[in-house]
A = this chain, B = another copy of it.
Amino acid sequence: MNLKQLAHMLALSQTTVSRALNGYPEVNEETRRRVMDAAKRHGYRPNPSARRLATGKTGMIGYVLPTGASVDIDPHFVEFLSGLGDYARSHELDLVLSPADADDQETTYRRIVANRQVDAVYISSPRPADRRVALVNSLGIPFIVHGRSEGFDFDYAFTDIDNEGAFREAARLLIQLGHRRLALINGDDRETFAIHRERGVRRALAASGLTLGERHVCSVVMTEENGYRATRRLLEEDDAPTAIACSSLIMALGVVRAVRDLGLSIPGDVSLIAHDDVFPWLRPENFSVPLSTTRSSIRLAGARVAERLAARISGLEEGARGEVWPVDLVVRGSVAGAPA
């Protein structure tokens, strides 16, 4: 059932039917109802291929997926996707993942824009002066950055959480509890979120005349194993920290294991706060010692990004507004006063 047939059986022109269906004003309301009705009754759905050839609109949002034999997709992605998908569904948007060589995403971005394969894209895990952001901005396709980049001579639209504030508050709490030597087990410090978190910790320390020791901050891929290793290294030193801030729950698993392996305890010997992106399958309150966290649902962020993309596609949102979400500090049993 295509437009031609539908028009024919309604004894109308394709033009009128098309306009009736797409809500154009120059068609009689009575006629429109007739058309809508017949369309529904016959299950008519405009062929998207034809439509996109004619309009250039695809009804799809794009994401360039860095891949490679040694490239691991961030497990956070799936939660983000849950939120994004949930919103996208209600707006009949599909998501197209374009796999790209992790070291050459530019080609892929250019392709999907040149080919008009998607109406908008989003970018995640940005770094300062991220080339993808500059590129996509210059290509002129609507986009939203999940997270923040920095150091451009233009503004852009992003949705981020207050990583600095979250870790500043976490550190402040630890300091108030008497801790003087804090450590930060961070994610990849080439990414903005990690930079912001480190800054948060430093600012809190500075406010009390303290500093973050050179060797008390580490930047690693966020795996359980790396959390373990970092913790062992930290705690086996002379000036071992008495409190640790950790950038992910997964790493925190390793932290807890390391602390135990060393015969130490949380929070007796070491206080621990981790960032919680809210996974359904791993909850901080279920750690052997309930984990204090800075909490922000990455899933909600996914839904929000989808919402903004949809708004941009339909022209409802314009400009380069960035939004920063506050982060909850949730105190549980894993923090206590510094040991004597």
Contacts and interface: CB of A to CB of B under 8 A. Distances in A.
Contact of A82 (B72, B88, B225, B228): B72
A86 interface: yes
A94 B63 CA distance: 10
Interface string A41-67: 000010111101100101010000101
Interface stretch (A17-25, A189-197, A275-283, A325-333): A275-283
Given A78-B74, A86-B99, A117 B286 contact: no
Given A49-B52, A49-B53, A279 B75 contact: yes
A85 B279 CA distance: 23
B114 A45 contact: yes
Interface in A276-328: 279-283, 286, 288
The 7 A-B pairs at the shortest CB distance, nearest first, are namely: A89-B99, A85-B99, A67-B85, A223-B281, A72-B280, A49-B53, A95-B97
- Name the residue among A72, A228, A283 with the largest chain B CB count within 10 angstroms: A72
B86 A94 contact: no
A94 B89 contact: no
A250 B45 contact: no
Contacts of A69: 86
A54 to B, nearest CB: 9
Interface of A: 45, 47-50, 52-53, 56, 58, 60, 65, 67-69, 71-75, 77-79, 81-82, 85-86, 88-89, 93-101, 111, 114-117, 222-225, 228, 250, 253-254, 257, 260-261, 279-283, 286, 288
A314 to B, nearest CB: 18
Contacts of A65: 81, 85, 95
A47 B281 contact: no
Interface of A, helix, strand, loop or mixed by DSSP: mixed
Nearest to A254: B286
Contact of A49 (B49, B72, B78): B49
A94 B97 contact: yes
Contacts of A60: 96
Contacts of A48: 115, 117
Contacts of A45: 111, 114-115
Contact of A96 (B49, B78, B95): B95
A310 to B, nearest CB: 12
A325 B37 CA distance: 51
A280 B81 CA distance: 19
Contacts of A257: 286, 288
Contact of A250 (B56, B82, B100, B282): B282
Contacts of A101: 89
A89 to B, nearest CB: 4
Given A67-B86, A85-B97, 11 more contacts: A49-B53, A49-B58, A53-B53, A65-B85, A67-B89, A69-B86, A73-B81, A75-B281, A81-B97, A95-B99, A250-B282
Nearest to A46: B115
B111 A286 contact: no
A67 B77 CA distance: 15
Nearest to A283: B225
Contacts of A111: 45
